[in-house]
Structure 1
């Protein structure tokens, strides 16, 4: 039994309708659907990229803040350290402060000889050979006072030589000693002088 009507006009209309529906199906299945799927996949990828960019931006902003905080702490520490380093013109006042501590501790300074300056990239190191005489407790107080000065002064290389033994039967009494040591401090390295202008370049400009 034929599924199509015998009328040629109706049969042609049904065939055309079938072909149209089939064309729409195939167009949707093999053309539109893959394109739509690719478009949706692309949209999702763009959304993920945008989210990743936003996350990266937030992380970068947080990292910038943390970096700024760390730099701020670093600058504060550097400033605190530089406040402890005497300026070049303050070295004389620092030596006067050491002399004041000598008198306050009741010791006698028998030598204070400067060593050659040791230049550095940022700070030059100054050192002095020092010898003081006094009883053990007075010398200890003097060394403690030097190490406690506001500016950085570090005593080291200490050598103690007994001078006189204790007198009497009092075991708490101590004799006189000679303490030889080196004190070190630092001063900021002066900036390098500016290079003079290139005379050959200047002469060349004048000739041109």
Structure 2
């Protein structure tokens, strides 16, 4: 940058002496503080980016809250449903309850055999084969009692035939063959030696 200095040496000296503090101030600012200025600029840019991200997050916050609430409702619904699904140790008690209801109603249990078990990702499906003898009224009441148990137990694949060999006080004898279907919560899987070795990193 050119400086318009006067021709007189004395005046030139005075002008230079007057400019010296300004030049020193400029040097003091730029040399030691140049790195600090760059750092402040970088921090300001980062702050602006963070504020922009926060603004976007605030815009998405209502949707996230709604999604979390729907997820919580879904989990509560699953918990209520799982209260109706028997555990493995409850199955024997359910079968005893079914036999007791048959005695109370007056139907004769001619067959009660366990069927296949189909493992599922969340529940295991269990089926039991059953045949009962009784009147139309007794068999209908018995099937209704099974469906009203406190756990999910459903009579399926019902096949009814007249039983002429058995005369009932309440009408024609009936032979009803059907399956009892229920879904059981699987027992927690115990760790195998291979899994234990993998978990320990051996």
User: Partners of 2:180 and 2:69 in 1: how far apart?
Assistant: 36
| Matching of residues 10-159 of structure 1 within 5 Å | 54=55, 56-159=56-159
Moved over 4 A (4+): 50-53
* SS of match in other structure, 1:84: coil
Q: Is the 1:84–1:151 contact (alpha carbons within 8 Å) kept by the matching residues of 2?
A: yes
Q: Is the 1:121–1:189 contact (alpha carbons within 8 Å) kept by the matching residues of 2?
A: no
Find the counterpart in structure 1 of residue 32 from structure 2. Answer: none
Provide structure 2 residue ranges, at least 5 long, that are not aligned to the other structure: 1-50
User: Partners of 2:57 and 2:197 in 1: how far apart?
Assistant: 47
Greater Cα shift, 98-107 or 141-150: 98-107
Find the counterpart in structure 2 of residue 187 from structure 1. Answer: 184
Higher strand share: 2
**Cα displacement (A) at 1:53:** 6.4
**Cα displacement (A) at 1:77:** 1.0
User: Partners of 1:121 and 1:88 in 2: how far apart?
Assistant: 16
User: Partners of 1:58 and 1:159 in 2: how far apart?
Assistant: 61
The TM-score with structure 2 as length reference comes to: 0.65
**Cα displacement (A) at 1:165:** 8.6
Q: Is the 1:112–1:128 contact (alpha carbons within 8 Å) kept by the matching residues of 2?
A: yes
Provide structure 1 residue ranges, at least 5 long, that are not aligned to the other structure: 1-49, 168-172, 203-208
User: Partners of 1:99 and 1:166 in 2: how far apart?
Assistant: 20
The TM-score with structure 1 as length reference comes to: 0.63
Q: In the TM superposition, what whole-angstrom CA distance separates every residue of 1:12-70 from its partner, at most 9, and x where no partner exists?
A: xxxxxxxxxxxxxxxxxxxxxxxxxxxxxxxxxxxxxx79964x444411112111111
Q: Is the 2:87–2:186 contact (alpha carbons within 8 Å) kept by the matching residues of 1?
A: no
- For the pair shown, the structure with the greater C-alpha radius of gyration is 1
Distance 1:59 1:138, change over 3 A: farther
User: Partners of 1:192 and 1:86 in 2: how far apart?
Assistant: 17
**Cα displacement (A) at 1:116:** 2.4
**RMSD, matched Cα:** 2.6
Q: In the TM superposition, what whole-angstrom CA distance separates every residue of 1:157-180 from its partner, at most 9, and x where no partner exists?
A: 00001012998xxxxx63000000
Q: In the TM superposition, what whole-angstrom CA distance separates every residue of 1:54-101 from its partner, at most 9, and x where no partner exists?
A: 4x4444111121111111111111101110111111111111111121
User: Partners of 1:135 and 1:176 in 2: how far apart?
Assistant: 5
Question: How many residue pairs are counted as aligned between the two chains?
Answer: 146
